[in-house]
Amino acid sequence: MAAAAAGPGPGSAPGDSPEGPEAEAPERRRKAHGMLKVYYGLSEGEAAGRPAGPDPLDPTDLNGAHFDPEVYLDKLRRECPLAQLMDSETDMVRQIRALDSDMQTLVYENYNKFISATDTIRKMKNDFRKMEDEMDRLATNMAVITDFSARISATLQDRHERITKLAGVHALLRKLQFLFELPSRLTKCVELGAYGQAVRYQGRARAVLQQYQHLPSFRAIQDDCQVITARLAQQLRQRFREGGSGAPEQAECVELLLALGEPAEELCEEFLAHARGRLEEELRSLEAELGPSPPAPDVLEFTDRGGSGFVGGLCQVAAAYQELFAAQGAAGAEKLAAFARELGGRYFALVERRLAQEQGGSDNSLLVRALDRFHRRLRAPGALLAAAGLGEAATEIVERVARERLGHHLQGLRAAFLGCLTDVRQALAAPRLAGKEGPGLAELLANVASSILSHIKASLAAVHLFTAKEVSFSNKPYFRGEFCSQGVREGLIVGFIRSMCQTAQSFCDSPGEKGGATPPALLLLLSRLCLDYETATISYILTLTDEQFLVQDQSPVTPVSTLCAEARETARRLLTHYVKVQGLVISQMLRKSVETRDWLSTLEPRNVRAVMKRVVEDTTAIDVQVGLLYEEGVRKAQSSDSSKRTFSVYSSSRQQGRYAPSYTPSAPMDTNLLSNIQKLFSERIDVFSPVEFNKVSVLTGIIKISLKTLLECVRLRTFGRFGLQQVQVDCHFLQLYLWRFVADEELVHLLLDEVVASAALRCPDPVPMEPSVVEVICERG
């Protein structure tokens, strides 16, 4: 490789080697090796093995076999500039010198080695000659030994045969002795209780005895043995029946009995009967724990006890049975399965009773752990006895409990929501200091929202335990699919949101009859809550749920939009109801004030009536209240100085034009007049119109209801001159203060104009007050 690399191709002089000077030494050595290889004729093979290199036939290759100095020189001269020529010359001189010294060293080194090798070879020649002699002697000695050995063997042959025969007789005698001693040994074993040993002896002897039973002596032995064996079997059975000993010992008994050839079927019946006795004992103790009077033990403890006691026992029984009665085949397995099914069923019934007691509890983690253990414990017998369906039954129980748990949580959430509402009611009803009302509502809303959210989260976390990785049943299809989607998402979360909306809506439906048993602030708060749910919370909760419970189920779920629409509808209804309730309150005030006053004999107005101030105050309070929870909303752009609008409503010209056509009964209706009226009313005022989610819309609704009431009430009364003037003053006052609350102040003007105009109509002596005087009175008061 070095040879190839160092090949001074055109333009790469030897001195330009890519490696630095420090790499020069190995480079040179390799070069020397290369030359040696060339010398020993290895170059061909080596060259063939090399991946790539300059053409070996290249005459300009300095290290090549076909190097032609003339060609090379020619080439150099032709292609290289002078400086490079000089360089390559010095380089070549340097290389030649180095090669010379290398060669000298090599010759010295190898010379010494060659001399020592020659010496060694000579010494070896001498040594081998000596060894040859000794080998010859060894051959002769070996021949003598073989000869002797053969002679000894021949002499010992006879005796060897006799010894073999004697040994055979001895063994036979030992066997016979064993047989003769067998009865006594068996008896001894039975007495000592070494049943295993006895059965082993019996097994060993049985075939022989069977074979030689035609000989009277053996027959006697066999009879003896049978008697003893029968006794043995009886004792074993006795022990087996006593049942005091544990399952492993019983299994041993059964095993021995089987070895004694007892009928397997009967044994397995008996075995199962015993096992049943034991397991029933366990069940009874479990049931005792359940008992009505003593306080129920911890559910975890209960399942643990059941798991170790009953399930462990069942496992042992099943394992032992399968081992012992494997030969029984399908019928035996079926028997065991039926056995397990029956006892398992009873166990499950107990567990369910216990779990039912736990339903009311709040500690999910304990329950889940208990269920986990319960389920885990049952996996072993489940696997052992697939036919008994214990695993499936256990899973079913767990599922049922999980479902009940979900229902319980839903109830809990509902209760929490109702609790929140009660708190809010109390907070609202609690006497508060003046001015303290303000921050309360927003705070309450935040409290309610956060408390519900935290309850939801807590519930989610609690039910999430059911799907935790480490829980043994979490990978069951139910828990992966239906539990997440139908149970948690639909049943719990969607169900809760729905029920929340329903609860909220129920406030609009029933209590309206009884005159607003629900405090209006609560309506407002609930409305805002629902609206918040619509805008953010629902999607947040659902996203949270979907994230926590990676829903893999494909069953259809309620989309977020549907829920949002429901929440929005609820919020709208609540707000509308709020408007109605508040409107009613103010309406009642106005109605009473108009109905109870004697408008005919009233005095000249000096003041705005107190009730109007009250109306404005209440409206302001409502405005503040709504403002706490709802945004301002859009107002119709108006001329800046609205409050100073001249109170031109009741000008005589207008009255003439609109309401008092000259009395000409037969005159056709003035069409021009009619169209005027129509134009005035072109925008029909929808009094109880649906509200939007903002303050202005709410206030507009309330004011509309109130003013319409005022109008209707005024129309039912008859006014004296001063009565009319009082209405004028009142309306001007209202106009001064109410315009700022509504979206379209024109509406307030329109309605108030209407009120004054109606009052004028209901007045036999309509002399309006001077607008300036009206203004003075209003500003004063």
Partner 1 sequence: MEDDAPVIYGLEFQARALTPQTAETDAIRFLVGTQSLKYDNQIHIIDFDDENNIINKNVLLHQVGEIWHISASPADKGVLATCYNKTSDSKVLTCAAVWRMPKEVEPGSHESPDDASSTAHTLELLCHLDNTAHGSMACVVWEPTGDGKKVISLADNHILLWDLQESSSQAVLASSASLEGKGQLKFTSGRWSPHHNCTQVATANDTAVRGWDTRSMSQIYCIENAHGQLVRDLDFNPNKQYYLASCGDDCKVKFWDTRNVTEPVKTLEEHSHWVWNVRYNHSHDQLVLTGSSDSRVILSNMVSISSEPFGHLVDDDDLSDQEERRPEDKSQEPPQDSVIATYEEHEDSVYAVDWSSADPWLFASLSYDGRLVINRVPRALKYHILL
Instruction: Give the sign of the dihedral formed by CA 665, CA 667, CA 673, CA 675.
Output: positive
Out of 687, 740, 746, 750, the only residue in the binding site for partner 1 (CB under 8 A) is 687
Is position 515 an interface residue for partner 1 (rule: CB under 8 A)? yes
455 binds partner 1 (CB under 8 A): no
Binds partner 1 (CB under 8 A): choice among 688, 772, 776, 779: 688
Binding of partner 1 by 660 (CB under 8 A): yes
Q: Is 762 in the site for partner 1 (CB under 8 A)?
A: yes
Is 750 one of the binding residues for partner 1 (CB under 8 A)? no
Longest distance between any two alpha carbons in the chain, whole Å: 176
Which amino acid, 365? S
Q: Which listed residue (712, 744, 750, 771) binds partner 1 by CB under 8 A? A: 712
The residue range among 170-178, 265-273, 524-532, 598-606 that interacts with partner 1, by the rule CB under 8 A, is 598-606
Nearer to partner 1, 284 or 592 (CB): 592
**Residue 313 or residue 766: which is nearer to partner 1 going by CB?**
766
* Residue 601 touching partner 1 (CB under 8 A): yes
Task: Candidates 188-196, 297-305, 436-444, 713-721: pick the segment binding partner 1 (CB under 8 A).
Answer: 713-721
Placement of tokens 């209407």 in the chain:
754
Judged by CB under 8 A, which stretch of 29-37, 151-159, 209-217, 708-716 contacts partner 1? 708-716
**Is residue 699 at the binding interface for partner 1, with CB under 8 A as the rule?**
no
Q: Which amino acid is at 195?
A: Y
* 672: contact with partner 1 by CB under 8 A: no
Judged on CB neighbours under 10 Å (0-12, 13-18, 19+), 255 is middle
| Nearest distance from C-beta of residue 523 to partner 1, angstroms | 15
- Which long-range contacts (C-beta less than 8 Å, at least 24 apart) are formed by 730-733? 730/608, 730/609, 730/612, 731/649, 731/755, 731/756, 732/647, 732/774, 732/775, 732/778, 733/608, 733/612, 733/613, 733/616, 733/778, 733/781
Residue whose CB is less far from partner 1, 640 or 666: 666
- Is residue 715 a contact point for partner 1 (CB under 8 A)? yes
User: Does 681 interact with partner 1 (rule: CB under 8 A)?
Assistant: yes
**Which of 48, 52, 152, 669 contacts partner 1 by CB under 8 A?**
669
Instruction: Please check whether residue 738 is in contact with residue 703, taking contact to mean a CB–CB distance below 8 angstroms.
Output: yes
Cα torsion through 569, 572, 573, 576, rounded to 10: -160
507 touches 518 (CB < 8 A): yes
Nearer to partner 1, 91 or 712 (CB): 712
Give 295 or 665: the residue with its C-beta nearer to partner 1. Answer: 665
Report the residue number, 419 or 764, with the smaller CB distance to partner 1. 764
26 neighbors 20 (Cβ within 8 angstroms): no
Nearer to partner 1, 133 or 598 (CB): 598
Residue closer to partner 1, measured from CB, 106 or 767: 767
Burial class from Cβ neighbours inside 10 Å (0-12, 13-18, 19+) for residue 570 reads buried
Contact call for residue 689 and partner 1 (CB under 8 A)? yes
The amino acid occupying position 31 is K
Q: Which two tokens stand for residue 619?
A: 């409206």
**Pick 248 or 764: Cβ nearer partner 1:** 764
Smallest distance, Å, CB 652 to partner 1? 14
Regarding 216 and contact with partner 1 (CB under 8 A), the answer is no
665 binds partner 1 (CB under 8 A): yes
536 binding partner 1? (CB under 8 A): no
Closest distance between partner 1 and the C-beta of residue 474, in Å? 50
How far is residue 710's CA from residue 174's CA, in Å, rounded to a whole number?
Answer: 131
What is the chain's length? 781
Query: Can residue 155 be called a binding residue for partner 1 (CB under 8 A)?
Result: no
Residue 378's alpha-carbon distances to 311, 322, 398, 507, 629, in angstroms, are 7, 17, 12, 50, 56
Q: For CA atoms 268, 288, 404, 378, give the dihedral sign.
A: negative
Note whether 510 binds partner 1 by CB under 8 A: no
Buried b (16+ CB within 10 A) or exposed e, 511-537: eeeeebebebbbbbbbbbbbbbbbeeb
In 3-state terms, what secondary structure has residue 607?
A: coil
724 binds partner 1 (CB under 8 A): no
C-beta of 67 vs 681, nearer to partner 1 = 681
Burial, 383: exposed, middle or buried (Cβ in 10 Å; 0-12, 13-18, 19+)? exposed
> Please, what is the minimum distance in Å from the beta carbon of residue 599 to partner 1?
9
Which residues between 560 and 589 bind partner 1 (CB under 8 A)?
Answer: 584, 588
Cβ contact 103:29 at 8 Å: no
Q: Which position among 674, 676, 683, 770 is part of the footprint of partner 1 (CB under 8 A)?
A: 674
- Tokens representing residue 588 in the block: 């009642």
Stretch binding partner 1 (CB under 8 A), from 206-214, 298-306, 443-451, 669-677: 669-677
* Plot region of 10 (φ>0 → left; ψ -120 to 50 → alpha; else → beta): beta
The answer to the question of residue 663 lying near partner 1 (CB under 8 A) is yes
514 in contact with partner 1 (CB under 8 A): yes
CA–CA dist 729, 613 (Å, integer): 12
Number of residues engaging partner 1 in binding (CB under 8 A): 36
Residue 239 or 580 with smaller CB distance to partner 1: 580
Between CA 751 and CA 689 the distance in angstroms is 15
Shortest distance in whole angstroms from residue 513 CB to partner 1: 6
Inter-helix orientation angle 82-192/216-242, to 10°: 100
Closer CB to partner 1, 763 or 777, in the complex: 763
- Residue range at the interface with partner 1 (CB under 8 A); choices 94-102, 392-400, 497-505, 665-673: 665-673
Residues that bind partner 1 (CB under 8 A): 512-515, 584, 588, 598, 600-601, 659-661, 663-667, 669, 674, 677-678, 681, 684, 686-689, 708, 712, 715, 718, 720, 761-764
